[in-house]
């Protein structure tokens, strides 16, 4: 929505018919499918994997398919959990972003950089940021073994309380230098044949 609101022509791609219907209801051109089985053709200026690359079966194949959709000089943007974060090391199997079995792959900064290189991208830049929910949810999983509030007023109250912890999380992340979210920007520098 943010890209569309800033003048971009946006095409959403998702295997879920419900997700596509929801996107269409919000004014986004949404196509049902994946990059490997029905991606819309064209020369795109950008391809964005926003917390989706960790869900695919073979990330290398999806990154190569995305590069084929990009025009020369087109930009790839990836955001996903940082497997190299201090939170993952501290909470191990209780780490909120582990999200098994939905997250099929996990990435460190170096691992994502190498994967992007193997996929044919150049100009790779990475950074990490702090999520609002990573630390509070990991604590909840560690103490309760599950997510305590799934819906309703309690979920809203918990979400509000989570925001109060953000300064603590941000400070711990800054001190460790290993935040819980990983982002990469890369460029398709090659022409396709």
- Specify the CATH number for 47-187; select among 2.40.50.140, 3.40.1350.10, 3.40.50.150, 3.40.470.10: 3.40.50.150
**Contacting residues for 11 by C-beta, under 8 A, at least 6 apart:** 29, 30, 31, 40, 44
Strand order from edge to edge, sheet including 44-50: 44-50, 70-81, 181-187, 122-129
Averaged pLDDT, 106-123:
97
Q: How confident is the model at residue 111 (pLDDT cuts 50, 70, 90)?
A: very high
Joined together, the tokens standing for residue 126 give 């990475």
Percent of the residues in the chain that have a pLDDT greater than 90, as a whole number = 52
The pLDDT tens digits of the residues spanning 22-34 come to 999 998 889 898 8
What pLDDT was estimated at residue 193?
46
Domain ranges of the chain: 1-33, 47-187
How many angstroms separate the CA atoms of 30 and 34, rounded? Answer: 11
Q: What's the pTM value of the predicted model, to 2 decimals?
A: 0.86
pLDDT over 70 (residue 144): yes
- Closest C-alpha to 79, from 173, 2, 184: 184
């Amino acid at each position: 929505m943010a890209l569309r609101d800033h003048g971009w022509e946006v095409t959403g791609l998702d295997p879920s018919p419900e997700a596509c219907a929801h996107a269409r209801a919000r004014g986004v051109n949404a196509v049902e499918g994946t990059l490997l089985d029905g991606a819309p053709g064209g020369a795109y200026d950008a391809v964005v994997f926003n917390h989706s690359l960790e869900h695919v079966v073979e990330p290398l194949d999806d990154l190569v398919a995305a590069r084929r959709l990009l025009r020369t000089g087109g930009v790839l943007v990836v955001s996903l959990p940082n497997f190299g974060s201090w939170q993952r090391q501290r909470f191990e199997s209780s780490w909120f972003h582990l999200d098994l079995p939905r997250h099929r792959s996990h990435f460190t900064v170096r691992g994502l950089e190498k994967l992007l290189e193997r996929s044919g991208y150049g100009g790779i830049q990475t950074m990490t940021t702090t999520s609002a929910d990573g630390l509070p949810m990991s604590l909840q999983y560690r103490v309760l073994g599950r997510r305590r509030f799934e819906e309703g007023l309690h979920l809203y109250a918990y979400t509000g309380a989570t925001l109060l912890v953000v300064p603590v999380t941000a400070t711990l992340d800054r001190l460790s230098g290993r935040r819980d979210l990983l982002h990469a920007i890369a460029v398709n520098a090659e022409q396709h044949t």
